Amino acid sequence: MFRSLGPGAIGIQATLMEGLELAKATNFQGLSINIGEVAKLAEEKSADYVKKLFSDAGLKMGSWGLPVNWSGSESDFKQGLEGLHHLAAVGQSLGCTRLATWIPPASDEKPFEENFEFHVQRFRPIAEILKEYGCQLGLEFIGPKTSRTGKKYEFIYTMGGMLELCDEIGTGNMGLLLDAWHWYTSHGTLDDLRKLTADQVVHVHINDAPKGIPVDEQIDNIRRLPGETGVIDLVGFLKCLNDIGYEGPIMPEPFSDKVKGLSPLEAASITSEGLVRVWKEAGLS
């Protein structure tokens, strides 16, 4: 597994070239991609040109976001499916085959069973297309109890529940976007992580939580930089992922006030420093 920078996840707007320079300068080992931007570049130049940009920077390609409005209208959904073939083919040509999206943990419109079936019907055709091109899709469960409060119907908010959805979709290329924050706020344990297999984890987010706040009172967009507080056992988290053989990107998503207002270089640097610290404590290289 490798430390991957997602510029947008720390409030940075960056082109591919800017992201490559930033990741290289701040001790990251990889960079997430904007599949639309990269596809355009691959068409104008070539896939080999894009791959050389990464190899010259000494970086791996991380993940990309699912470019389909899966929760929208039927027409928007079908339009997204049509475009997915091309983008998945680009991902395959680049060897960048991990992508992800998140799933709301509650609904005011659909009871659980109806919502579950809706997700199966929307994600199965997506997953089938991605499978044609050797791509894997990770689904992120949203853990905080506060994210479900006030909603009429609860939906999936745990690792086990999301794996059940992946199994029901049944294409064999679905797994988790596993976020340390959501694992912690859903009362996940290290034993839960040890039961995973590497192919069940598609992508990983890492972050810490504020001190002095009970787990069920944590607010989703108020987090901390990796290793900043030690509230989340990130060393144990990383060790478990390493032990099960996960080889993909580990991307910080701290939603931290500490990076707001900083220059891109400063924001990436402070984020990287925290991640490298817990990385070394976990015995990783």
Indicate the SS3 state at residue 247: coil
Query: Global pTM?
Result: 0.97
CB-CB contact of 170 with 137 (8 Å): no
- Interval 44-103: pLDDT, tens: 999 999 999 999 999 999 999 999 999 999 999 999 999 999 999 999 999 999 999 999
CB-CB contact of 14 with 22 (8 Å): yes
**pLDDT band, very low/low/confident/very high, at 285 (cuts 50, 70, 90):** confident
Domains of the chain and CATH, by start? 2-281 (3.20.20.150)
- Percent of the chain, pLDDT > 90? 98
**pLDDT band, very low/low/confident/very high, at 43 (cuts 50, 70, 90):** very high
Cα–Cα distance, 6 to 85 (Å, whole number): 24
**pLDDT band, very low/low/confident/very high, at 260 (cuts 50, 70, 90):** confident
Query: Which of 74, 25, 10 minimizes the C-alpha distance to 207?
Result: 10
What is the H or E stretch that residue 119 is in?
A: helix 112-132
Query: Which of 15, 24, 9 minimizes the C-alpha distance to 54?
Result: 24
- Interval 144-160: pLDDT, tens: 999 999 999 999 999 99
Sorted by sequence, the CB contacts under 8 Å of residue 186 that are 6+ apart come out as 141, 143, 144, 157, 158, 159
